[in-house]
Amino acid sequence: MPNLNVTIQTVVPSTSVTIKPNKTSVSGVTIAPQSSVSLGNLTNVDATNPNDGETIVYDAAQGQYVVKAIPTIVGGSF
């Protein structure tokens, strides 16, 4: 039997794929999406230590989304 290399990249720690010893190929793998994934589990989001009133914005220098404070506007009319 040939060696089978399986790589799964996911933020769901309980995801697994099992290949039975007498099988030589996998025709397909379906992994259902989770409805409750936190922002911190996404690979391109740095959501560490968020505070009330902050938002997520894209930072091109870091190549990911980061937590930033929303600027406060004082005065003026809108």
Residue 48 has a pLDDT of 86
Residue 2 has a pLDDT of 55
- pLDDT of residue 39 exceeding 70: yes
**Worst-scoring range by mean pLDDT, 8-12, 44-48, 60-64?**
8-12
Domain residues of the chain, as ranges?
39-69
pTM value is 0.46
Per-residue HEC secondary structure of the chain comes to CCCCCCCCCCCCCCCCCCCCCCCCCCCCCCCCCCCCCCHHHCCCEECCCCCCCEEEEEECCCCEEEEEECCCCCCCCC
Q: What average pLDDT does range 15-28 have in this prediction?
A: 65
- pLDDT of residue 1 exceeding 60: no
